[in-house]
């Protein structure tokens, strides 16, 4: 009889362990979906801020330790990227507009990788033709100490328009 009680105890413990692992996996999936949504919201907000030429907001998406690479350009840091974006948004000769296509967001612990395509349209303010550039890239987000997600690294390049 004692052996049957021990076997039942082992079975119950095993079932509890499986339930605990399954609930943890479900919580991780829920967390991942919530983080993906948070990152989507932040990218869309950045796009709206940029397209509104709100130079005071365009640096908010980037982490202080940012390192970025764009084909043919020198490596940027937070300070240099922000200065370049703010200068573009206050350019008296041109207006800039971005469209965004998010291809994929992968989340693992405190890092998230986003494959995306930005399409930049540059219009002269005083006539002339619009230039359109397609910029596929990859952004690496890192959870910040305050719980927000910011771009810590990114790589992008120009590609021919379809």
Q: Is the pLDDT of residue 26 over 50?
A: no
**Cβ atoms 102, 139 nearer than 8 A:** no
| pLDDT mean over 7-14 | 59
Q: Span 58-83, mean pLDDT?
A: 94
Tokens 């983080």 found at? 35
Residue 75 has pLDDT above 70, yes or no: yes
pLDDT of residue 19: 52
Quick one: pLDDT at residue 128? 87
- What would the 3-class secondary structure string for 30-89 be? HHHHHHHHHHHHHHHHHHHHHHCCCCCCCCCCEEEEEEEEECCCCCEEHHHHHHHHHHHH
Summarised one tens digit per residue, pLDDT across range 31-59 is 999 999 999 999 999 999 999 999 999 99
Mean pLDDT on 152-158: 92
């Amino acid at each position: 009889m004692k052996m049957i009680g021990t076997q039942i105890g082992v079975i119950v413990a095993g079932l509890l362990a499986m339930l605990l692992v399954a609930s943890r996996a479900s919580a991780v999936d829920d967390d991942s979906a919530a983080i993906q949504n948070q990152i989507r919201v932040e990218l869309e907000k950045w796009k709206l801020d940029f397209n509104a030429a709100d130079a005071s907001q365009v640096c908010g998406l980037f982490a202080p330790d940012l390192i970025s690479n764009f084909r043919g350009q020198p490596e940027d840091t937070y300070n240099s990227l922000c200065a370049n974006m703010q200068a573009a948004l206050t350019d008296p000769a041109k207006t800039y507009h971005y469209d965004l296509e998010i291809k994929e967001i992968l989340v693992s612990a405190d890092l998230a990788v986003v494959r995306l395509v930005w399409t930049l349209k540059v219009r002269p303010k005083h006539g002339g033709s619009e230039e359109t550039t397609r910029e596929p890239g990859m952004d690496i987000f890192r959870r910040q100490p305050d719980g927000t997600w910011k771009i810590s690294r990114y790589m992008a390049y120009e590609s021919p328009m379809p």
